[in-house]
Homo-oligomer: A and B are copies of this chain.
């Protein structure tokens, strides 16, 4: 128990702690958490943007969940073995794109989604009929915290996904997601407006962007007006394939707000 007596969660230590304990599995993580030492990262992963900086096209609706033209941003992801295993017919490519796709799901204990990522309905929920874009067995397999201004009961799906609807804002969603993640990382799924809110609040530890060779012209700009340098980010990984340029932005630990 080398960390016993540590006055508070130190993220650098916690990250190493998770990595080491992963070998001995879930029980060790739970022990650490009872000590209040382990806290997973909040990360954006596999988030695709166009050459001109848009994370989604304009005019999102039932036919265009990613906005008009937005589907092209995700070509790199659709072809991977990781995607095909979940949504396709099996097969799919391995390699760098697939490595990033797989990393996107590794070690995630909870997700946070903006309401528009959950569905096309705006305003109050007319009923509980809409259960997300993903059918009866969504690809999350963890608790998923959906930001909304309109309360709705939690909904348990097949495969271990439970949708919770959070009306108290981004900090409440993060607190509940961290709690639900039990020491593992929390993935901030999007969309653009939600990521921007968390970035501006200084809450995102790591961002993996996939810059796709596509232009959208208009839509939702991920970074316009956000000063990533001022927020403490630097490029920690950069590798490109024929389908995307993968960039990982990591936040300087000294600039992180205290937990």
Do B235 and A214 touch (CB < 8 A)? yes
Which residue from chain B places its CB closest to the CB of A213 in the assembled complex? B238
Interface size on A, residues (CB 8 A): 32
The answer, yes or no, to whether A223 is at the interface (CB within 8 Å) is yes
B residues within 8 A CB of A69? 229
Chain B nearest CB from A66 CB (Å) reads 15
The answer, yes or no, to whether A9 is at the interface (CB within 8 Å) is no
10 contacts between A and B (CB under 8 A): A51-B211, A52-B223, A52-B228, A53-B224, A213-B235, A214-B235, A215-B235, A217-B228, A221-B224, A224-B224
CA gap between A234 and B228 in the complex, in Å: 28
B residues within 8 A CB of A249? 51, 215
What 0/1 pattern do residues 191 to 235 of A give for CB contact below 8 A with B? 000000000000000000101011111100101101111110111
B residues within 8 A CB of A218? 227, 229-230
CA gap between A234 and B214 in the complex, in Å: 7
CA gap between A209 and B213 in the complex, in Å: 11
Q: From B224, B229, B245, give the contact of A216 (CB < 8 A).
A: B229
CA gap between A228 and B50 in the complex, in Å: 11
B residues within 8 A CB of A102? none
CA gap between A229 and B57 in the complex, in Å: 11
Chain B nearest CB from A213 CB (Å) reads 4
Chain B nearest CB from A218 CB (Å) reads 5
